[in-house]
Every structure is written in C-alpha cells, then in structure tokens.
Chain A
Amino acid sequence: NAGVTQTPKFRILKIGQSMTLQCTQDMNHNYMYWYRQDPGMGLKLIYYSVGAGITDKGEVPNGYNVSRSTTEDFPLRLELAAPSQTSVYFCASSLESSYNSPLHFGNGTRLTVT
C-alpha cells in the first residue's frame, strides 16, 4: 500500500492564480482531511470528509474548496491564491472517525504564493 499520496510536492503560485492539490489514499479509508501547517505552528483543519459525497468545513475553510466524488480521492482547490495561503498542506485519512482510528498523513505539499 502506498498509503496517502499527495501531489505536487512543491508549487509556486502567483497571486490570483488557482490550483488543485491532489490527495489519494489506497487504504479504503472513509474519512479524509486537509490540514495546513504554517512555519513553527500546529496543524489547522481546512476541510474534512466522512465519506464519498460528504464534505464539511474545518477551522480555516475560507479560500478553499473540496470535493469527494470517490472514496480514494479528496482534492483541495485554491481559487485566487493569496500570500496568506503560503503553507505546507497535509492530507490525511482514517478508517473511521478519529475517535476510533488514528490519522495517516501524506508527505505534504509545500505551497508558496508570491
């Protein structure tokens, strides 16, 4: 199993551009999450999904959109990129709710907006 795979690893965007961060998992996990991590800080939850077709906002959803058309994929869309979105983005998945299952993280996407 590859686990949680994120692409790209690095990306530089100009202000106002848009992009999609890809996340796929091959563990048949129901729950998927997007976090962002600013330098020296903890992880902030952007969006999460409890299953295909279901998504919900986390702590910092503004400026982002997600979709969950399949169990495996959970892409994160940035529209009109802003410098405040410069961060490392981690996708994670868990078999069940985090009450019962630990999160498995991908290796992250480092995004710079200039």
Chain B
Amino acid sequence: GQQVMQIPQYQHVQEGEDFTTYCNSSTTLSNIQWYKQRPGGHPVFLIQLVKSGEVKKQKRLTFQFGEAKKNSSLHITATQTTDVGTYFCARNTGKLIFGQGTTLQVKP
C-alpha cells in the first residue's frame, strides 16, 4: 500500500546521546514531511524534503532523503529533555499519509 514504515517504534536514550529514526517506503516518494508531537500535544511541522539525496539541518536535527527517494531519516545530536516526543514522517501524495511514529524518551 501507500504506508511508510518507521523504525524503531520506541527509543530510550540518556540525555546527551544521539538518536536516529528511519522512515522507509517500498515505492518512490515524491516528497516527505516530518512532524513532532509532544506528549499530550498535536503534531507540529518540522521540515519537508523534496530532492534526492537532500540533507537539511535545524540546529541539532539533521534530516536526510535517500538517493532513491524511498527512505528518509531524522538524526538528533546530543539529545536534550526537550526532544521528548513522537516523531512522524509522512509521505506526501497531495495529502499526507503518516507513518506510525518513533517515540523518544530522554533520561536526564
């Protein structure tokens, strides 16, 4: 189907450790968006990736789009407690189809 698969489903890290979540599709993605949802909150847009091999950075967050446009990743360097939440990728077909998310817990 049109689903995107995210791994891992959960990740617990010590504050200061790095974190990566992966988003994989069996079909080529036209573009992909990433959102963050804090516990009890609503999803908030982080970034959109469009070009093959694209890499974008937002402070400690690095987003990559695979060369084949079938996968994407979000890497957080030196996690902080404010990074806690669920990170979703969403394939963009003119409407967004979300992955199941990766929930990040950070131990202070």
A binding-site residues for B, Cβ under 8 Å: 33, 35, 40-45, 48, 58-59, 90, 92, 97-99, 102-108
Q: Which residue of A lies closest to B6 (CB)?
A: A42
The A/B interface has a contact count, at CB < 8 Å, of 51
Q: Which of B44, B88, B95, B101 has the most CB of A within 10 A?
A: B95
Main secondary structure of the interface of B (DSSP, over half): strand
Number of contact residues on B: which range applies?
20 to 34
List the interface of chain B (C-beta within 8 A of A).
6, 30-31, 33, 35, 41-45, 48, 88, 92, 94-101, 103
Query: Cα distance A92–B30 when bound, in Å?
Result: 21
Looking at A58, A98, A105, the one whose CB has the most chain B CB atoms below 10 A away is: A98
4 A-B pairs besides A97-B94, A98-B95 with CB distance below 8 A are: A41-B101, A43-B43, A99-B30, A103-B43
